[in-house]
Amino acid sequence: MAPVSQHVRESLQEIFGDRVRTDRVERKMYSFDIGTMPRLVKPVVPAGLAGAAVRPQSEAEVVALLELASRLSVAVVPRGWATSGYGGVLPRAGAVVADMSGMNRILALDHANMTVTVEPSAIWQDIDRELAKDGLTLRLYPSSTPSSGAAGWLAQGGAGFGSFEYGTFKENVVSARVVLPGGQVREFAGSDLERYVADAEGITGVITQLTFRIRALEPEVHHLFAFPDARSLAMMLADVSRAELPLWSVTFLNPASVSLKKQLPHRHGHPYEEAHPHVEPQLPESYLAVVAYPESRMPEIDERLEEIVRIHGGIDLGPEAAEHEWEMRFSPIRLKRIGPSLVPTEVVVPLESLADVLAEIDARIRQPFILEGMHAKGDRIVLLGFIPHDERLFAFNLAFALSLSVIRIAKQHGGSAYSTGLYFRREAQSVLGPERV
């Protein structure tokens, strides 16, 4: 695929100066995200080589870009930090990729209303560091916090640490400024924001600013519990929900995940790991739940939580193991070192069918299946699964199909795919509902 025409390139240069790229190598680099698309899948995904990449630094530049694109009939694809992995940032052949990573500032803190306003690609970790200086923190964040941005999470949709109390990110966004495809700027809030901007993968416009709710920073308690099987874990989660324990975050992993982490090879020669040799605590290979809440809530939670865990055969693995798992919460894909590739799949299921879904995944996916789960407000459970594999092998194509099997299992139990992106665009009905599609 050739780059954009000379006329388009020159028009882009008038807006962006030297922040326009049309050489083949850069266009190729902007035609990937963090995932690996198997060779057999490529022909059925409408993605190709970008025609150009530009790097806006202001809303005015985004407006100029979209006016130009509309006038010259050029497709534009917004790209944050490209960590979403399901093809949301992949351009169709010849499209202009708008690399929004240059717009990453934290703009304003509103103490009275407990909100923060940021540019679209402000990175979660940077935002949280800034908030901490004022005794504040994020209500929720994804496990990609060190490397992903705010608008990407709104546009891709999703749950993270803190979703037990605060739900999905979109439920915490007050407003977003969006440049629409013709170049008009509109501020979205409330149900319009949830309907047209959230989960839309950037197809309804380019977000240039967003304001969302934050909370007070408090010392936090972390627990790590082991359960004999998936059913006991699911029953514990149901009881926690029924008892309305004011927890902040509840996540879990499966035995395969614990077992594979123990086999992780040491990264010889890696300067950080050589200086800080990493020792995994001896965790049991069972279902593990990680629970977090502010220390101030201990009197309401501690005894009741302990009792619920005990009733369902759970064991508290102690503070040292809990702190270790908590510290490792931003490294879910370190298991890639075993792969060397990972086939990802992600679904949302109702809590009441969690045990059945996990049993069926175990029975039908006859490969090591690393599973991380998040319990979100409203008893929705997000299941993120990885199958370690090797993208150089033909069998990688077949393993990729298993991600669709997991989505099928979820749907049979009242669930859906997690998000769309080009890979799962056919799941848009189940993710967004027919009206929003």
Residues in binding contact with ligand FAD, number by CB under 6 A: 34
Please give the residues from 20 up to 59 whose contact with ligand FAD meets the rule CB under 6 A: 33-34
* Minimum separation from the CB atom of position 143 to ligand FAD (A): 4
Q: Is the dihedral of CA 237, 424, 396, 269 positive or negative?
A: negative
- Under 8 Å between Cβ of 42 and 87: no
Residue 356: which residues within 8 A CB-CB, separation 6 or more?
A: 413
304 vs 425, beta carbon nearer ligand FAD = 425
153 vs 293, beta carbon nearer ligand FAD = 153
- Under 8 Å between Cβ of 288 and 225: yes
* Minimum separation from the CB atom of position 432 to ligand FAD (A): 13
206 vs 233, beta carbon nearer ligand FAD = 206
Pick from 220, 250, 249, 246: nearest CA to 132: 220
Q: How far apart are CA 122 and CA 102, in angstroms?
A: 9
3 vs 35, beta carbon nearer ligand FAD = 35
* Minimum separation from the CB atom of position 189 to ligand FAD (A): 16
- With binding defined as CB under 6 A, does residue 100 bind ligand FAD? yes
* Minimum separation from the CB atom of position 25 to ligand FAD (A): 20
Binding residue (CB under 6 A) for ligand FAD from 11, 31, 84, 211:
84
Binding residue (CB under 6 A) for ligand FAD from 81, 212, 225, 386:
81
83 vs 286, beta carbon nearer ligand FAD = 83
89 vs 308, beta carbon nearer ligand FAD = 89
Q: How far apart are CA 83 and CA 152, in angstroms?
A: 9
Binding region for ligand FAD (CB under 6 A) out of 78-86, 128-136, 225-233, 390-398: 78-86
What residue type is 388 in one-letter code? P
CA 145 to chain centroid, in Å, comes to 9
* Minimum separation from the CB atom of position 342 to ligand FAD (A): 10
* Minimum separation from the CB atom of position 131 to ligand FAD (A): 17
What residue type is 436 in one-letter code? R
Q: How far apart are CA 305 and CA 296, in angstroms?
A: 15
- With binding defined as CB under 6 A, does residue 386 bind ligand FAD? no
144 vs 341, beta carbon nearer ligand FAD = 144
> Which phi and psi angles does 388 have, rounded to 5°?
-65, 135
Binding residue (CB under 6 A) for ligand FAD from 3, 51, 80, 94:
80
Binding region for ligand FAD (CB under 6 A) out of 73-81, 130-138, 301-309, 359-367: 73-81
Q: How far apart are CA 97 and CA 50, in angstroms?
A: 7
Binding residue (CB under 6 A) for ligand FAD from 89, 365, 399, 432:
89
Tokens of 37: 């698309």
- With binding defined as CB under 6 A, does residue 152 bind ligand FAD? yes
- With binding defined as CB under 6 A, does residue 88 bind ligand FAD? yes
Pairing of the two strands 52-54 and 96-99: parallel
Distances (CA, A) of 278 to 101, 308, 324, 388: 32, 33, 10, 21
- The end-to-end CA distance of the chain, in Å, is 30
Binding region for ligand FAD (CB under 6 A) out of 41-49, 138-146, 227-235, 347-355: 138-146
Tokens of 29: 């680099």
How many CA atoms lie less than 13 Å away from 124 in the CB half-sphere? 23
Tokens of 171: 């439920």
The beta-strand segments (E) located in 158-258 are: 173-179, 185-189, 206-216, 220-227, 249-253
- With binding defined as CB under 6 A, does residue 332 bind ligand FAD? yes
The vertex-388 CA angle with 199 and 399, nearest 5°, equals 75
Binding region for ligand FAD (CB under 6 A) out of 13-21, 148-156, 231-239, 281-289: 148-156
Instruction: Taking each helix axis as running N to C, give the angle between helix 230-242 and helix 354-364, from 0 to 180 degrees, rounded to the nearest 10.
Output: 160
- With binding defined as CB under 6 A, does residue 206 bind ligand FAD? yes
Binding region for ligand FAD (CB under 6 A) out of 131-139, 145-153, 229-237, 425-433: 145-153
- With binding defined as CB under 6 A, does residue 156 bind ligand FAD? yes
Residue 395 class from Cβ within 10 Å (0-12 exposed, 13-18 middle, 19+ buried)?
A: exposed
Beta bridge partners of 393: none
- With binding defined as CB under 6 A, does residue 91 bind ligand FAD? no
* Minimum separation from the CB atom of position 57 to ligand FAD (A): 13
- With binding defined as CB under 6 A, does residue 339 bind ligand FAD? no
Give the residues lining the site for ligand FAD (CB under 6 A): 33-34, 77-85, 88-89, 100, 120, 142-144, 148-149, 151-153, 155-156, 158-160, 201-202, 206-207, 332-333
